[in-house]
Structure 1
Amino acid sequence: MRKTAYKKELTIRTTQKRKGAANIKKDVIKIQSWLVLFSIWNPNSGTAIKIDGDFGPATERAIRNFQKIKKLPEDGIVDKTVFDALSFNLKEAFEKPLQSTNVRDLIVEVAQNHLDNHPFELTINTQSNSGPWVRSYMDGKDGAIWFWCMGFVQMILDQAVSVLGKKFETLMPLTYSCDTVGTIGLQKGLLTRYQKIRKDPSIVKKGDFFLIQKSTFDWTHTGIVTAVDQGVIETIEGNTNFQGSRNGIAVMKRTRNLMKSKIDVFSIEPLV
């Protein structure tokens, strides 16, 4: 795999605890981030805390609450075992063995596996588009300026095709820009415009990815196509929300109408 920044999110340098002499602020922020992420999908867990890098009594209590849920010793200390439990979903998303044997099915399987593990962005130090999931998709970068929908798509492609010894760079360079990818798609004859798709939706296939067109050479959002049926696509998208925003908060599964939205589609056929 080309995109391996996620591995840094699965480790801390040393055991962290309240008033610990070996505490490292960046590691405490990681721990607090995972506690908050756990609380999003487990709102009764008591693990929602402030992300400030200070391992104080609130962080200790949140760790104890997490340990109780996970049936771990309730000592409020984060060693490798506890941190592995905190970051389990990310490891599962990136390293779970895949079952599919062809590129299109692999892309959909990988995207679904990420979705099942609840990727979600955080706001840290007033910066949205932050946290371990965003950094994993964006090669270590996060913060308000780093819209991460294309980073998500390229991560899914990279993870899927690497299983077969292929490289996603066959289609495009590493980039976070929908405009760059759209332009390359036109140059290579791989991007089909929405006008043609509306006449023949069968052009679109699962495993392809879409680009929402704002104007002729300006695209604002992207995601993976997981199914196509009667002019409707089902998708898995990063950096979106329930309204389909280009700067949302999570990975979500959506349904989009090819007949009403300006949806161009990039074919992954050269990788098949």
Structure 2
Amino acid sequence: MIKDWYKKELSISSLQKRNGSTNRKKDVMKIQSWLNLYSIGNPLSSTATGIDGDFGPATEKAVKNFQKAEGMNQTGTVSHALFAKLCNPLREAFEQPLSGSSFRELVLEVAENHLKNQPYELIIKGQSNSGPWVRSYMDGNDGSPWFWCMGFAQAIVDQAASAIDKRFTGLMPKTYSCDTVGTTGLNKGLLTRYQTLRRQPERIEPGDIFLLQKSRFDWVHTGIITRRIGDIIETIEGNTNNEGSRNGIAVMKRVRNYRKSKIDVFSVAPLA
């Protein structure tokens, strides 16, 4: 895989504990981030806590609450094994063995794997678009300016391409920009404009990438198309929310009406 930053999010340097002599601020922030992410899917767990790199009594109690929720001894310390359990959703999303028999099937399978592991962004030091999921999609970058919808889409395509020993950069350049991918699609004859798609909807295929057009050469959001039903496409998108925002909070499964939105489609046919 080309986009393999996620591996750096799967480990800490040493055991971390309250006022520990081997504590590292970055490692503690990783732990605090995963405790907060766990609380999103388990709201009764009481694991949400500040993300400041200080392993104090609040972080210790949040760790104990996580251990209690998972049926473990409540030590309040984070070993390598415990951290592996905290960040297991990320490992599952990126390393789950795949079974798809075609590239398009693999794209959908990978996207579903990520979705079910609940990728969310966090707010850290006042910055949205932060946390381990965002850094994994954005090659270590995070913070408010780093809209991550294209980083997510390319991570999915990269993972699927790697499963068949291909490189997604043969399809499009590695980028975080919807405009770069849209322009590449035009130059390669792989981007179909929304006007054509409304006349020829059969050109929309599962595994393709949609690009939401703001103006003719300006695209503001992207995601993976999972299927087309009548006037509707179903999608899996990063950095979105219930309103379909291009700067939301999570990976979500959505429906969009391609006849009412300016949705262009980038075909992944060269890898299929």
TM-score calculated relative to the size of structure 2: 0.99
Paired letter, 2:60: E
Determine the structure 1 residue equivalent to 2:106: 106
Q: For residue 68 of structure 1, give the secondary structure of its aligned residue in structure 2.
A: helix
Instruction: Tell me the residue number matched to 1:190.
Output: 190
1:199 is matched with 199
Measured against aligned partners, the alpha-carbon deviations of 1:101-151 in whole angstroms (never above 9, x if no partner) come to: 110000000000000000000010111100000000000110111000000
Question: Structure 1 unaligned runs (5+)?
Answer: none
Letter of the structure 1 residue corresponding to residue 66 of structure 2: F
Specify the alignment match of 2:80 in structure 1: 80
Q: How far has the Cα of 1:71 moved from its partner?
A: 1.8
Percent identity between the two aligned chains: 63
* Distance in 1 (alpha carbons) for counterparts of 2:78 and 2:101: 39
The structural deviation recorded for 1:231 is 2.0
Query: Which residue of 1 is the match for residue 17 of structure 2?
Result: 17
1:14 partner amino acid: S
Alignment match, 2:235: 235
Q: Distance in 1 between matches of 2:214 and 2:65?
A: 46
Query: What residue ranges of structure 2 are gaps of 5+ in the alignment?
Result: none
Which residue type is aligned with residue 26 of structure 2?
A: K
The aligned residue for residue 162 of structure 2 is 162
Question: How far 1:171 moved relative to its partner?
Answer: 1.0
Tell me what 1:92 maps to: 92
Offset, 1:267: 0.2
Question: Structure 1 CA distance, aligned partners of 2:258 and 2:153?
Answer: 19
1:87 counterpart letter in structure 2: C
Alignment correspondent of 1:173: 173
- Once residues 42 and 229 of structure 2 are traced to their aligned partners in structure 1, the CA distance between those partners, rounded to angstroms, is 34
Structure 2 partner of 1:208? 208
Figure out how many residues of one structure are paired with residues of the other and give that number: 272
- Which whole-Å CA distance do the structure 1 matches of 2:223 and 2:31 have between them? 29
CA–CA separation in structure 2 for the residues paired with 1:46 and 1:54: 18
Post-superposition offset of 1:209: 0.6
Q: Which runs of 4+ in 1 moved over 4 A?
A: none
Find the aligned partners of 2:260 and 2:11 in 1 and give their Cα distance: 45
SS of residue paired to 1:58: helix
Aligned mates of 2:162, 2:37 — CA distance in 1 = 28
Q: Which amino acid aligns with 2:160?
A: A
User: What's the CA shift string for 1:58-105, capped at 9, x where partnerless?
Assistant: 100010010111122210000011101100100000001011111000
**1:225-271 CA deviation, whole Å, 9 max, x = no partner?**
00111121000000000000000000000000011000000000000
TM-score when normalising by structure 1: 0.99
Report the counterpart of residue 252 of structure 2 in structure 1.
252
Which residue of structure 2 aligns with residue 149 of structure 1? 149
1:81 is paired with a residue whose SS is helix
Instruction: Summarize the alignment of residues 29-68 of structure 1 with structure 2, pairs less than 5 Å apart.
Output: 29-68=29-68
Amino acid at match of 1:211: L
C-alpha distance in 2 between matches for 1:101 and 1:163: 10
Alpha-carbon separation, structure 2, partners of 1:261 and 1:216 = 13
AA aligned to 1:82 is: L
Q: Secondary structure at the match of 2:8?
A: helix
